Chains A and B, each alone.
Chain A
Amino acid sequence: MKSLLQITGVLLVAVAVLIYINSQLTDTSSRASSGTITVFNWGEYIDPELVTQFEEETGIRVIYETFDSNEAMLTKIQQGGTRYDIAVPSEYMIEKMKEEDLLLPIDQSKIPNLENIDPYFLDLPFDPGNQYSIPYFWGTVGIAFNPTLLDGQTFESWSDLWSPELEQQVILVDGAREVMGMGLNTLGYSLNSTDEQELRQATDRLKELGPNVKAIIGDEIVETMRRGEAAIALVWSGQAADIMYVNEDIDYSVPQEGSNLWFDNMIIPKTAGNVEGAHAFINFMLDAEIAAQNADYVGYSTPNLPALDLMDPEITGDTRFYPTEDMREELEVYRNLGPVMLGKYNEYFLEFKMSMNRN
């Protein structure tokens, strides 16, 4: 009993000392602080140097948190436990958040750098007039593959993935919309399909892919492909860029049947505690040089026109990552299908995942 008390005492003292040191450290770093903002972003989706630079320039301290799916982000913002000032959802989620009244309107007069954005990415159907959202990055969904591990296969078409030679070679991303979208596209249907029949067929088609599927995972795809652990993966364009940055063997292709074109925009959620700071952050990220540095680091496509001029033309001229407007016409943007339909997508996706276990 006595030693238990002693241990507890020692622990308490140690904790008190650490808390004191910690408070001293944070005090010195935020002395000139004009508040804090909490940024809620995807993992690996910002150059961390830029966060520091923003803090130095504005004196606003940034608390940075990450999420790994639009839905996980939504849940956290709905619950409202943390005062997020900035979040970066995709287009269909912005539509949904707007419907649920979770967004604050953006005061464009406080964001002079908005003029840098390519008009193509402004005033899109999910947010007319950009009342609630400002473009951050955009990209596509496609196939990353490692030719050194394959016998010359290419991926012009989604159905190339079904080739029997690719047994245990394909990695899929753990997202119902992405995988079901692929199934629908393969059959020539829209990836926003709400037709039960089409979804049923897409699921059955996906089940036939089962033997070729090596795994269905999340952000680990990037590491797995870099190490040459797998030959083929269904990825977002920026993940492909990330992979190619380290492993130059890898190639990326967007199949001809069409695929998903997506936009991630910055929004200010209802939970925001520092709306001024949030605007400052958005404006900072839209600065041409900042945006160029960020795009270089992250690997996704920036909608910032002057930033493109600052970047390596080899990257910005690469139509795999900066498809031309004609090519973009072939692609489809996710629509907000509503919770019931999203539930159906997930049920079918679960059915597909379960079917692999029986192989």
Chain B
Amino acid sequence: METKSRTFLMVPYYLWMVLFVVAPIVLVGYYSFFDIQGNFTLENYQNFFTGTYLSLTLSSFWYAFLITVFTLLIAYPTAYWITKTKQKQLWLLLIIIPSWINLLLKTYAFIGIFGMNGSINNFLSFLGLERQQILYTDFSFIFVSVYIFIPFMILPIFNALDKLNPALLDASRDLGASQWVTFRKVIWPLALGGVKAGIQATFIPALSLFMITRLIAGNKVITLGTAIEQQFLVTQNWGMGSTIAVFLIVFMVIIMVLTGDREKGVNQRGNY
């Protein structure tokens, strides 16, 4: 009886998964085998490995990598610091709130801040320095992306650090470990699950960022996401768009696998 009702309750989930997860992936795979005129072809895959798309993929990875590294560099100390404060929830809330605001709105705000006559340049000229081109550079692209991803990196790392049993740290100190050694041998490995989750939440979306590439980087940075959008909406070449999407999915799976032993890790170590 119970198992029956349980299977019954699973039906909406299975339906959801099939309709919105499995079916789209299958369709993307299917479309990737057709050219712009609707003929079956493998040309899209061949095309992907020619100069333009390959360098597009590489540069996409490079930018996603940079974004992830900087996000991690900022997010880890911040998360660590929050666990040490008295008002943990308040600080966490203050960091989370900006992520509730629509991404595009925040991006538009940066156009104003980084512009030739924006706040930063006004400040520079106030100091008697020359105005700098900030908008439409690699710097502005990475800065804004990092800003957007920081909350998504802080949250999992904070959760992992917060769950750390303080007794372990005391034990480490009692046994004569320096602070650095404690961090390296105790804190880092125990919170690694959170870091991996944060990397997943940053690196994968960073590969497919698209509006920011136009608004902040002036299309001088092209990510896989931008290329897919262009293929579907402008060129109407659904085949090539799907092919890029297939590769994006493959890259995502690889990254998931590489950073994947998260649950296992947390459980095992959380049981200490």
Point out residues on A near B: beta carbons under 8 Å: 69, 71-72, 74-75, 168, 171, 174, 176, 213-218, 220, 227-230, 339-340, 342-343, 346-347, 350-351, 353-354, 356-357
**What residues of chain A lie closer than 8 Å to B51, measured between beta carbons?**
351
List 14 A-B pairs, Cβ < 8 Å: A71-B236, A214-B218, A215-B217, A217-B214, A218-B214, A220-B215, A229-B116, A342-B235, A343-B240, A346-B231, A351-B52, A353-B219, A354-B56, A357-B59
Of B52, B55, B117, B219, chain A has the most CB atoms within 10 Å of the CB of: B219
Select one of B59, B115, B214, B227 contacting A174, CB under 8 A: B214
A350 contact set on B, CB distance < 8 A: 52, 56, 222, 227, 230
Additional 8 contacts, C-beta under 8 A, given A74-B236, A339-B236, A343-B240? A75-B232, A176-B235, A227-B115, A340-B37, A343-B236, A347-B52, A353-B219, A354-B59
Distance from B231 Cβ to chain A, minimum over Cβ atoms (Å): 8
- B175 interface residue, CB < 8 Å from A? no
Q: For the complex, what is the distance from the CA of A227 to the CA of B214, rounded to whole Å?
A: 18
B135 touches A229 (CB 8 A): yes
Q: In the bound complex, do residue A229 and residue B117 qualify as a contact, i.e. CB atoms below 8 Å apart?
A: yes
Assuming the contacts A216-B219, A357-B221, asked whether A342 and B236 have C-beta atoms less than 8 A apart, the reply is: yes
Whether B235 pairs with A217 at a CB distance below 8 angstroms is no
Which residues of chain A have C-beta atoms less than 8 A from B136's C-beta? 214-215
Which one of B59, B116, B222, B235 lies within 8 Å of A343 (CB-CB)?
Answer: B235
User: Known: A217-B214, A220-B111. Is A75-B52 also a contact (CB below 8 A)?
Assistant: no
- What separation, in Å, do the CA atoms of A75 and B55 have in the docked complex? 28
User: Which residues of B have CB within 8 Å of A74?
Assistant: 236
**B97 CB, min distance to chain A CBs, angstroms:** 18
Contact in complex: B234, A176 (CB < 8 Å): yes
Closest to B238 in A: A75
Task: Determine if B89 is an interface residue (Cβ-Cβ < 8 Å).
Answer: no
B220 contacts chain A at the CB level, 8 A cutoff: yes
Closest A residue, CB atoms, query B232? A75
Interface centre among A176, A343, A356, by most B CB within 10 Å? A343
Contact of A69 among B115, B133, B233 (CB under 8 A): B233
| List of A residues within 8 angstroms of B55 by Cβ | 354
Residues of A within 8 A of B111 (CB): 220
Q: Which residue of B lies closest to A171 (CB)?
A: B218
Closest to A359 in B: B220
| Chain B residues within an 8 Å CB radius of A229 | 115-117, 135
Which of chain B's residues have a CB closer than 8 A to the CB of A230?
116
Closest to A68 in B: B233
Question: Which of B51, B117, B133, B235 neighbours the largest number of chain A CB atoms within 10 Å of its CB?
Answer: B235
What is the distance, in angstroms, from B68's C-beta to the closest C-beta of chain A?
A: 19
Report how many residues on chain B are interfacial, defined by Cβ distance under 8 Å: 32
Given the complex, which residues of A lie within 8 Å of B168, measured CB to CB?
Answer: none
Contact with A along B232-261 (1 / 0, CB 8 A): 111111001000000000000000000000
CA of A340 to CA of B240, assembled, Å: 12
Complex contacts, B133 vs chain A, CB 8 Å: 168, 214
What is the CB-to-nearest-CB distance from B216 to chain A, in angstroms, rounded to a whole number? 9
B236→A354 contact, CB < 8 A: no
Q: What's the least CB distance linking A312 to chain B, in Å?
A: 30
The reply to whether B234 and A72 contact each other, CB–CB distance below 8 Å, is yes
**Which residues of chain B have C-beta atoms less than 8 A from A171's C-beta?**
218
Contact of A354 among B217, B222, B232 (CB under 8 A): B222
Q: Which 5 A-B pairs have the closest CB atoms?
A: A215-B218, A216-B219, A346-B235, A215-B136, A229-B116
Task: Report A5 CB to chain B, min CB distance, Å.
Answer: 18
Closest CB in chain A relative to B250 CB, distance in Å: 21
Q: Do the beta carbons of B220 and A343 come within 8 Å of each other?
A: no
A345 CB, min distance to chain B CBs, angstroms: 8
Task: Give the nearest-CB partner of A351 in chain B.
Answer: B52
Q: Which residues of A contact B115 (CB under 8 A)?
A: 227, 229
Q: How far is the CA of A216 from the CA of B232 in the complex (A)?
A: 19
Question: What residues of chain A lie closer than 8 Å to B59, measured between beta carbons?
Answer: 354, 357
Closest CB of chain B to A173's CB: distance in Å? 10
Determine if B52 and A217 form an interchain contact, defined as CB atoms under 8 angstroms apart: no
> What is the chain A residue whose CB lies nearest that of B231?
A346
| Contact present for B220 and A356 (CB under 8 Å) | yes
